[in-house]
Structure 1
Amino acid sequence: MNGTSRKLLAEMLGTALLLAIVIGSGIMAERLAGGNVAIALLANALATVGGLYVLIEVFGPVSGAHFNPAVSIAMAVRHSMPRLLLAPYVVAQLSGALLGAWLAHAMFDATIFQLSTRLRGGTGQWIAEAVATAGLLLVILRAPAGRVAAMVACYIGAAYWFTASTSFANPAAAFGRMFSDSFAGIAPSSVPGFVMAQMVGAAVGVAVHRALGLPPSEPPDTAGGAARPERPRV
């Protein structure tokens, strides 16, 4: 298996496991919380934080651990990854997200093929998704080397609670969760608004990063726009 194939496999597996963690922990939390939504959300958030940290550490050295089309687009625009890899990365991430939803259902003996009926939308939730994604990109781009996994996981855990949308911050996550009629699901009709807000947020995050200047740990671009050394990103 060549380097590109390994990267795509890592992105697909990482995204699949991330969605299995998000959806599976949501199913478990809803079953055990006895109707207490706050407890269910707390359990869902804690599982996501732990799982996300591990996945970034495991797959980061292989593919950069994007698991997120918004992140991959931002990296391609910034020449931090070859632009020819962008479309394959996104396909791998979306495929992984769908497989992760099905895996979660299989583990809990639920119907494999589902569509969510959980409507999520409105101005507040779209703003929340833009804020969550902007913050995610800012953390990724400015985290010191070696701290990306911990900082991203902590940020996502916090954003579960401070955003009205519970912080999807990821078009692949929205796509995968569309196929799960569970605690973590999102109705197909709600996905376009979320994805648009996420892309706006990603652009804002990159713009803020540029406005703040290069962090001390990040070298400047070399002449001709050569890519910086890739760090684990999600």
Structure 2
Amino acid sequence: MNKAIVTGHSKGLGAGITAALLAEGFNVLGLSRSALPGFEAGLEQVALDLGDADALSAWLDGGELESFLEGAERALLINNAGIVEPIAPLGRQGAVAIVRAVTVNISAALVLADAFAAASSGIGDRRLVHVSSGAGRHAYTGWSVYCATKAALDNHANGVREDALPGLKVESLAPGVIDTGMQSTIRGTSEEDFALRGQFVELKETGALADPDTVGAKIVAHVIGTGFGKETLTDIRQV
């Protein structure tokens, strides 16, 4: 039996990944603040704010992750959840927004990765995916926090690869520029806080943003394929 855990599964790219996994016959456990409508068979959903470290710890202590993975022959963890805020130069970002970004983008992903590795230790084929970003590999004005959090995921994947855990493959995967709520947030930012705003408005107006369902399907095809894990830092547009 094939099983996958997907964070941020209810919207945007996460919903696209979830739909593709279900189509491939995976049982999916979705972790998100909101539910994904329209799916019943094969999908379990947990209402969980990954920005609340105590809530995540309490959920993990309940043993639901281990119960879900029981009987799996192949197991995936796709750390997709992420937020782009705060979008602003240093000095205008704010403590609350910075802490939430680090908690959602880094802490939750690393905590879940650790719990997944422990819970899947008896599974012969297990795969860990961090959904990263080009922003983790190239600096952008106004995105210093987002860039830092995605760079952290990249280097975490590098370290996990060095651990060489039995049966575990890992990749930190950049998905490209996708037409999601995150892009709406970016376009809604003032140019004072994000000098590159006009470029992202143009991407939307010219139809250059990728479809989340299409990208989700491509990511799943790669993740379950034989090429996954050969490189640790990848871009779905180049695999």
Normalization by structure 2: what TM-score?
0.31
Q: Which has the higher contact order (CA 8 A, sep 6+)?
A: 1
Which has the larger share of helix?
Answer: 1
Which has the larger share of strand?
Answer: 2
Normalization by structure 1: what TM-score?
0.32
